[in-house]
Amino acid sequence: MDTRCARPDASSGIPSVVPSAAPSAAPSVVPSTASPAPSCVQRSVVTELRLSAFKSHRNASYALGPLTLFRGPSGSGKSSALQAYGVLARLAGGDVLEEALSLVDGGPGACVPQQARPDAQGRRGFRIGCTVEGPVGPVRLDVAVQAEPELRIVGERMTASGRTLLSTALRDPGRRAVEAAWHTAGAAPVTRAPLPDDRLGTALMPLRVAGKTAGQQLVLDAAEQVVVALRAVFACDPRPDLMRAPAARDDGLLRGTCDNVAAVLGRTRHECATRHAALVAAVDAGCRVPVDGLSVRGTDDGLVQAVLGQRAGGAVGLERLGDGELRYLALCLVLMTGPGVLDMDPAGEVLQARQALTVLADDFDRCLDAGQERELLALAVRMGERGHVRLVGAVRDTGAADPPVAGVSVVDLRGE
């Protein structure tokens, strides 16, 4: 029996099933258990986003650097690119398909390209994927999803060095399962088993593969590399209207809306004096009022309110700052902290030295003036040079990185 992987047909909306090579018997890339060369990339990072058929994107592939901005007018697809990235991240984190797609406005049906025609059974779908660089080398993941009439993953493929390590395909539409085949390179070159059709097979491999053969270990290493990179994502869209309100003192993990920023500042100012001083300096560079401190004060109802100290004396509460200053402060905080401060769920079983936080920031430049935007981009570049933080953002048609900020990669969607 051959192994098949679903991919979108050029004219139909449902991912069509086409033959593909089964997982091969002998590995062609070195498992991460081998000693890497000194120059080998140790952190797992997403270096390419593929939108084969997703919303307005068709056969699109976007390279992602340490700091990448999608730029274009309304409707150009910049926000949908970040949504696709976020869906992959949530699937890698263990979410079922419906949960992962809940962040997309309009739901699963909105992910299907508008021009996609249903097949005879009324089925339409979409396909997204990515490439992850790391100790195993480049690993590709592609996922085909049926959105209508039933939501399910109908095909998945994970490959490295041209070798298929895992593939799944929908064989029986009446069963809520796909047939999976993964590389073994043992007595049996390929292992086959059913997997649920609403979860990412790559994320399930550690529960299915023993790692007893070199082939199995390669599958585990490649799957770990993909999952680690995708789980290390923090979607951030600061909400100034919520940031002005006091927060519970012990609410110390920053949420994506940054509504509890006061509690987080109260926590972080005591944890690392050096980092806090750097944060104060960064905030000072982008605020109208001169800032020489960030602290919190208690309220009558037991909450805390964030306060900016001024060099001329006195203090300014966050409730008095403009929207741009509040978004600027929150984004500075996100870029200068990490998973221990942010409300996210990175791979706890992998050393932090092998992980790189990726911040997804839609409407990155909303409410920011040109000076604030350039300061934030320069800060993101500096943090990215250390290898710990990456930024993928979406910005308006004009003004973003113009003139260019060194180290910023811009994906211009104005011509698409």
pLDDT of residue 39: 37
Q: What tokens were used for 263?
A: 């509690």
pLDDT of residue 10: 40
pLDDT of residue 251: 94
- The CA distance from 97 to 84, in Å, is 12
Between strands 409-412 and 67-71, the pairing is parallel
pLDDT of residue 224: 94
pLDDT of residue 74: 87
Query: What DSSP line would sit under 271-307, residue for residue?
Result: H-HHHHHHHHHHHHHH-SS-EEEEEEEE-TTSEEEEE
- Where is 194: in which H helix or E strand? strand 190-196
pLDDT of residue 29: 33
pLDDT of residue 335: 95
Q: Which residue has the tokens 């923090």?
A: 234
DSSP 8-state symbol, 227: H
pLDDT in tens, 288-313: 888 999 999 998 888 999 999 887 67
Amino acid at 30: V
* Positions in the chain short of pLDDT 50: 1-12, 14, 16-21, 24-41
pLDDT of residue 310: 80
pLDDT of residue 367: 95
DSSP 8-state symbol, 113: -
**CB-CB contact of 170 with 197 (8 Å):** yes
**CB-CB contact of 253 with 342 (8 Å):** yes
What SS3 class is residue 158? strand
Rounded to the nearest integer, the mean pLDDT of the chain is 86
pLDDT in tens, 121-155: 888 999 999 999 999 999 999 999 999 999 999 99
pTM: 0.88
Enumerate the H helices of 180-249 as residue ranges: 201-208, 214-231, 240-243
CA atoms within 13 A on the CB side of 79: 17
What SS3 class is residue 249? coil
pLDDT in tens, 221-262: 999 999 999 999 999 999 999 999 999 999 999 999 999 999
